[in-house]
Amino acid sequence: MKKNKLIPLLILLFILIILAIYLIATNKSSTLKKEYVNFAIQDTNSIMQIFLADKNNNKVTLKRNDNNSWSVNNKFLASQDQINILLKTLHLLEVQAPVAKAAYNNIIRQLAARGIKVEIYQYKYRINLFNYIKLFPHITKTKTFYVGDHTPTYIGTYMMIENADAPYVVNIP
C-alpha cells in the first residue's frame, strides 16, 4: 500500500521538475527595455543613408547610390570595403551590459562631450504584410544612437540610444 502512494508523488515531483527546467530555459524576460538595447540593424541591405556627427561640427553623410555604391557627402565615392565593414559592424552590435551605477555620470558626461551621433535611415514600406505584400516604399530614420569611448578593458564601447535612460557597454561578440 505504501508503494502505491509513493509512485504518484514521484510522478508529480518529476513533472514539476521538468516544468521548472522548461520555464527557466525559455525565460527570455529582461529588465532592459528592448527598444533601448537594440543597437543592431537586422537588414543592412535596407540601409540607404548613414549620418555621423561629432561635437566639433564634423559631419559625414554616407549615401547609397542607385548602382549600390556609396558616396560620402554626395561628393566622393566611398570605399566599398570600408562600407562593408561598417554595415557588418552595425549588424553584429550586441549589448554586453548596462553601465555600472558608479560610472553612470562619467559616461553620460563623456557621451555629451565627445560622443558621435549616428543616424540610420532605412528603406521601409508603409504597408508590409508578412514580407509578401509590400506597398508604398519610403526612406525613414529608424535608429539614432551615440557612440562613446571604449571601456577600460578595451572589450566594449559605451553607446546610448537616443531617448534611452542609460548608456550600455556594446561589443561585437
| pLDDT for residue 118 | 92
| pLDDT for residue 50 | 92
pLDDT tens-place values along the chain, 173 residues long = 455 777 777 888 888 888 888 877 776 666 565 656 778 888 888 889 999 999 888 999 999 998 888 999 888 988 899 999 999 999 999 888 888 888 889 999 998 889 999 999 988 887 777 777 777 778 888 899 999 988 888 888 999 988 888 899 999 88
Print the SS3 string covering the chain: CHHHHHHHHHHHHHHHHHHHHHHHHCCCCCCCCHHHHCCCCCCHHHEEEEEEECCCCCEEEEEECCCCCEEECCCEECCHHHHHHHHHHHHHCEEEEECCCCCHHHHHHHHHHHCEEEEEEEEEEEEEECCCEEEEEEEEEEEEEEEEEECCCCCCEEEEECCCCCCEEEECC
| pLDDT for residue 105 | 92
